Amino acid sequence: MAGKRKYRLGDLQLRIMRVLWRTGPSPVAVVQRELDGEPLAYTTVATMLRKMEQRGLVQHREQDRRFIYEAAVTEAEVTQSMADDLVDRLFHGSLADAVSHLLETREVSHSELARLERLIEQRKRRHSGDS
């Protein structure tokens, strides 16, 4: 993952990012209204958005004397970074250990298992083409 930015978002930051990814550019009031979970004060959301902007996660423009915030990073970038960080920190970089843990500790439907098998087969075919 050399050269790629690493993103570690707390629960509230991730909830805010999900709103912005879903709604697109939005004023603080819309972000506040659209947040999942416990309702938060306008000032709490505004403060968090300012902190997130300092970290380069969001950016804003002014429109009609209101700040309109938008995501400065994609959902895919954040998902990849956070998932890689989780595997690296908890499973010493072993994807097999991470998957094994999830299979042992979570309910997995037959359709999810079939999907995992298809994904593994697709990856095997790609790797055999690289040889």
The full DSSP string for 5-64 is ------HHHHHHHHHHHHH-SEEHHHHHHH--SS---HHHHHHHHHHHHHTTSEEEEEET
| Residue 126 structural domain | 94-131
CB atoms within 10 A of CB 20: 23
- Domain identity same for 28 and 83: yes
- Domain identity same for 89 and 25: yes
Q: Is the pLDDT of residue 50 over 60?
A: yes
- Domain identity same for 52 and 99: no
Question: Considering the entire predicted model, what is its pTM?
Answer: 0.82
- Domain identity same for 123 and 98: yes
- Domain identity same for 85 and 62: yes
pLDDT the model gives residue 3: 54
Q: What is the mean pLDDT of residues 78-102?
A: 94
The band of 131, judged by pLDDT with boundaries at 50, 70 and 90, is low
- Domain identity same for 68 and 119: no
- Domain identity same for 80 and 22: yes
- Domain identity same for 123 and 67: no
> What CATH number is attached to the domain comprising 37?
1.10.10.10
- Domain identity same for 55 and 110: no
- Domain identity same for 86 and 115: no
- Domain identity same for 18 and 31: yes
